[in-house]
């Protein structure tokens, strides 16, 4: 009987595999395997946390994997194994192969950071009747090379031809970095070839200059300012008067080059990326900082923006934030971000107008960054923790915690809380009308 490919598109609960020919036969944590936590083989996720490593035991190649919105961080083909690096906490793993079919595995054990797991696969090509039981589907895109998803399953790249497609209505999604997603409903009929030809719409324009990158998405332009790396003293340095106990000890930090948002992320930019603005109704004008967003919301926003542009966006680490607020290697050692008079550089309790204010209405700092003192609190990437008296390079904060760092103070803050070394924190699910974000970006 002719050997063919069958792909099942259905709602799956638990472990269900196409014709039971691609299936997970065993999955467990290998307590003795330290690969995921060793220098040279350790991989970090987009939040700077250590990934889990899943060693997939199979002689097969050309598998595709999906672990949800957190995203697969790295895939390595090894002799008899595939090494799959994933963020901790994932709940399911989708596997797809043109020859063996599709499988969705719901993890039975907790996926912890820096741990190694073993997954064993059974693979066998499927045999299911003749071509008369199927339709065909051809998916093309301009430009080519876009990822194709069928009912949420990642199955390959355009141009793509399915010779044995199950009849019925199916959702086809096409995705490519730098272009907007395309979603369509296609009806596949017995013995007929359903054609889908999509001209993808460019999602952004990127203009690079020596000291900045200007990006336009849906007529909204924002700027990322280059911050040249260097070494600085982080925390309660001598000019940071009236400091708090958690700003000590001041310690040496060395940072690599990165980019940071010229302004706080605005309502206009958030809406262009996410389709709507979550901000409090009294602070929902286009050029006011987006607000009432949790740390988790900001992660989704940065991930979506990264997909649209092909650039690597995130929240700034606490060290990146403070170095930029101090003016980087152009610092004049001001008390606030851009000066020693809070009224010149930011909005706070003494001069605010009951709500957040439009960005770029106060004096910028030495790097040309606005509102890094006051206006909206800004989430940072790090878990909150106490400083140590030691030199560090490109720190990402503690490996765990209960609250995430916030910086800059806000319109309701005292001047003391606007200082460049002042720290705050809240649980990552927190949403307040005076809490927003600022983007960071690194070159890949």
Structure tokens at 140: 């093309």
- Return d(Cα 75, Cα 65) in angstroms, integer: 9
* The pLDDT value given to residue 12: 30
% residues pLDDT > 90 (the chain): 64
Q: What pLDDT, in 10s, does the model give residues 99-141?
A: 677 788 999 899 999 999 999 998 876 444 455 667 888 999 9
Q: What pLDDT, in 10s, does the model give residues 6-60?
A: 333 333 323 334 434 788 999 999 999 999 998 889 998 877 789 999 999 987 7
Sign (positive or negative) of CA dihedral 411, 412, 418, 424? negative
Q: What's the rounded Cα separation, in Å, for the pair 35 and 29? A: 12
Model confidence at 365, pLDDT cuts 50, 70, 90, reads very high
CB 413 within 8 A of CB 269: no
Q: Which of 305, 269, 442, 289 is nearest to 379 (CA)?
A: 289
**3-class SS of residue 55:** strand
* Dist. CA 304–CA 306, nearest whole Å: 5
DSSP-assigned states of every residue in 396-426: ---S--S-EEEES--TT--GGGGSTT--EEE
Rg (CA), the chain: 25
β-bridge partners, 101: 97
Q: What is the DSSP letter of 172?
A: E
- pLDDT tens digits along 346-361: 999 988 867 899 999 9
pLDDT tens by residue, 82-100: 999 999 999 999 888 766 7
Confidence (pLDDT) at 59: 78
Domains of the chain: 16-123 (no CATH), 131-199 (2.60.40.10), 206-442 (3.90.1580.10)
């Amino acid at each position: 009987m002719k050997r063919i490919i069958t792909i099942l598109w259905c709602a799956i609960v638990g472990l269900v595999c196409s014709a039971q020919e691609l299936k997970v036969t065993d999955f467990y944590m290998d307590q003795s395997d330290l690969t995921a936590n060793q220098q040279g083989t350790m991989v970090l996720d987009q939040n700077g946390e250590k990934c889990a490593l899943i060693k997939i035991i199979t002689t097969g190649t050309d598998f595709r994997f999906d672990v949800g919105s957190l995203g697969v961080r790295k895939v390595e083909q090894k002799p008899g194994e595939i090494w799959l690096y994933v963020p901790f906490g994932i709940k399911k793993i989708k596997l797809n192969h043109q020859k063996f079919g599709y499988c969705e595995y719901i993890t039975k054990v907790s996926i912890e950071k820096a741990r190694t797991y073993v997954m064993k696969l059974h693979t066998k090509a499927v045999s299911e009747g003749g071509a008369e039981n199927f339709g065909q589907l051809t998916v093309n895109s301009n430009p080519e090379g876009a990822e194709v998803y069928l009912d949420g399953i990642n199955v390959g790249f355009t141009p793509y031809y399915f010779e044995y497609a199950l009849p019925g209505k199916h959702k086809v999604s096409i995705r490519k970095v730098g272009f907007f997603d395309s979603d369509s409903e296609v009806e596949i009929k017995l013995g007929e070839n359903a054609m889908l030809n999509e001209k993808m719409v460019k999602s952004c324009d990127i203009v690079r200059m020596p000291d900045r990158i200007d990006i336009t998405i849906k007529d909204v332009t924002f700027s990322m300012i280059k911050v040249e790396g260097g070494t600085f003293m982080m925390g309660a340095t001598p000019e940071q008067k009236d400091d708090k106990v958690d700003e000590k000890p001041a310690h040496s930090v060395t940072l690599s080059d990165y980019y940071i948002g010229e302004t706080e992320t605005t309502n206009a930019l958030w809406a262009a990326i996410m389709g709507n603005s979550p901000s409090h109704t009294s602070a929902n004008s286009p050029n006011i900082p987006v607000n009432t967003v949790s740390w988790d919301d900001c992660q989704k926003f940065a991930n979506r923006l990264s997909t649209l542009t092909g650039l690597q966006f995130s929240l700034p680490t606490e060290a990146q934030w403070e170095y930029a607020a101090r003016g980087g290697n152009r610092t004049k050692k001001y008390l606030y971000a851009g000066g020693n008079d809070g009224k010149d550089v930011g909005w706070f309790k003494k001069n605010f107008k009951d709500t957040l204010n439009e960005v770029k209405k106060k004096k910028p700092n030495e790097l040309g960054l606005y509102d890094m003192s006051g206006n909206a609190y800004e989430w940072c990437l790090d878990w909150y923790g106490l400083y140590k008296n030691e030199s560090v390079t490109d720190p990402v904060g503690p490996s765990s915690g209960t609250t995430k760092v916030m910086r800059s103070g806000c319109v309701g803050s005292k001047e003391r809380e606007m200082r460049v070394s002042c720290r705050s924190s809240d649980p990552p699910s927190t949403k307040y009308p005076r809490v927003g974000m600022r983007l960071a970006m690194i070159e890949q």
